[in-house]
Structure 1
Amino acid sequence: MQPSLYNSKPSIIYGFHGTDKEAGLKILNQEAQFLHSNNSYDWLGQGVYFWENNLERARQYAEQDSKRENSRIKEPFVLGAVIELGNCLDLLDQQYIDFIRLAYNRLKDIMKAECETMPTNGQFGPNDFDFRKRELDCAVIRYACTLAEEAGQPFDSVRAAFIEGDEVYEGAKFSTGNHIQIAVINPDCIKGIFLPREAGQQPVFAEEK
């Protein structure tokens, strides 16, 4: 797949990652690394997931996840990251939307030839109206990444917009959980990690001894 003359992305974006405080501080202090999510239902395939320029949404996610049974998040916490998207499978770009349609058709043919059933997108429970169990989308994106790697142009990241949540107001086509999500495949895209500050918050400096 030849890149377009016009699909280069801003060199730097800010991403926010909801996690457990103890785990987050270990990453911040370079005692641990971000773990790739590798579930069969992950929306954007394998990678480290970030909310693009959306600190509050990352905070909401960490708080909501901490309430689940057996959650790894004991104390909700958010890390910020400075990210270069690199060669990005960007599903806000028509070229890449066409590419995953191609990947889907090829994957479907392979599965049919092998007498296997294509995965489907579904719900985690009866109240999951957003169909967050994205096993079909995950499989297609993973296969698209395989095609790109075989062509010698592996993707460094995947980026997509998601319409999620309830109507912002009656009759709205805007939803309460709309966001852009990024899955970083290549860890070298993460150029730095930081503790997010609120607007107007003064930085804290250690006192001189």
Structure 2
Amino acid sequence: MYSSRTGLTLAFHGCDKKVLNQVIQKNKSLKASTNSWDWLGHGIYFWEYSPSRALEFAKALSKKTDPTITKPAALGAVIDLGRCLDLLDYQNLTEVKEAYKFFKQTVENSKFSISLPKNRVTKGGPDLLIRELDCAVIQTVHSLRKQNGAPAYDSVRGVFWEGDSLYPDAGFREKDHIQICICNPNCIKGYFTPRELSKDHPAV
């Protein structure tokens, strides 16, 4: 009943400057990510209200050995979350838990010799960035809703705990953020290039 989110959300996508220009100037669309480790399932990923985190992500990718990004940029988007699988909503977590049970049973009963996918840390870090189990479970949520004739989710939203602690015994970490995965591209009402604040006026 309360899964539909009202109002518009500003969100940001870390990318190469070339991609930003193609979207803004040539009306190109962002491609959905379909990696097996995408923690919120398959879709187009954004950081909610955090252009700085989107840009930091793009900068990190540009420093890799074989970078997919050479000129880091943050692309802004105006989004209507529509029917949202919001993982900050207690009731929705129950649906995800039930999807896990179904997925686990399906794997265990398979005639093929397969095992449950796992969430894993990346080399040199403590964070579970490779989220193959979570991706499979979220995709199962979508599949079960389709099988049961329930309305499809337009988006998925969750909080990601990441990075070192801000200070000793802190419950906050350096890169904590809320991320959005857009399943229905019609949720994206428009794109924009984030502008610099005017130094002659107070920030709003």
Q: TM-score, normalised by structure 1?
A: 0.90
- Residue type of the alignment partner of 1:138: C
Task: Kindly provide the CA deviation profile for residues 164-192 of structure 1, in whole angstroms up to 9, marking residues without a partner as x.
Answer: 11111122111010100000011100001
Q: Secondary structure at the match of 2:136?
A: helix
1:20–1:77 contact (8 Å) kept in structure 2: yes
Cα distance in 2 between the residues matched to 1:134 and 1:128: 14
Gaps of 5+ in 2: none
Cα distance in 2 between the residues matched to 1:164 and 1:175: 6
From the superposition, tell whether residues 7 and 201 of structure 1 become closer, same or farther in structure 2 (CA, over 3 Å): farther
1:177 matched to 2:182: no
- 17, 31, 34: which is aligned to 1:21? 17
2:4–2:84 contact (8 Å) kept in structure 1: no
- Name the structure 2 match of 1:206: none
2:10–2:48 contact (8 Å) kept in structure 1: yes
Moved over 2 A (4+): 6-10, 149-152, 198-202
Cα distance in 2 between the residues matched to 1:153 and 1:116: 30
Cα distance in 1 between the residues matched to 2:183 and 2:119: 22
Cα distance in 1 between the residues matched to 2:24 and 2:101: 41
Q: Secondary structure at the match of 2:18?
A: helix
Cα distance in 1 between the residues matched to 2:16 and 2:6: 29
Cα distance in 1 between the residues matched to 2:144 and 2:199: 46
2:41–2:181 contact (8 Å) kept in structure 1: yes
- 123, 132, 138: which is aligned to 1:141? 138
From the superposition, tell whether residues 201 and 192 of structure 1 become closer, same or farther in structure 2 (CA, over 3 Å): farther
From the superposition, tell whether residues 140 and 31 of structure 1 become closer, same or farther in structure 2 (CA, over 3 Å): same
The range that moved more, 192-201 or 65-74, is: 192-201
Within 5 Å, which residues of 2 pair with 1:119-130?
119-125=117-123, 127-130=124-127
Displacement of 1:143 in angstroms is: 0.7
The range that moved more, 172-181 or 62-71, is: 62-71
Cα distance in 1 between the residues matched to 2:14 and 2:199: 20
- Name the structure 2 match of 1:44: 40
Displacement of 1:201 in angstroms is: 6.3
Cα distance in 2 between the residues matched to 1:75 and 1:201: 25
Identity of aligned residues (%): 41
Cα distance in 2 between the residues matched to 1:102 and 1:79: 35
From the superposition, tell whether residues 201 and 55 of structure 1 become closer, same or farther in structure 2 (CA, over 3 Å): farther
Cα distance in 1 between the residues matched to 2:189 and 2:120: 35
Q: Secondary structure at the match of 1:97?
A: helix
From the superposition, tell whether residues 42 and 201 of structure 1 become closer, same or farther in structure 2 (CA, over 3 Å): farther
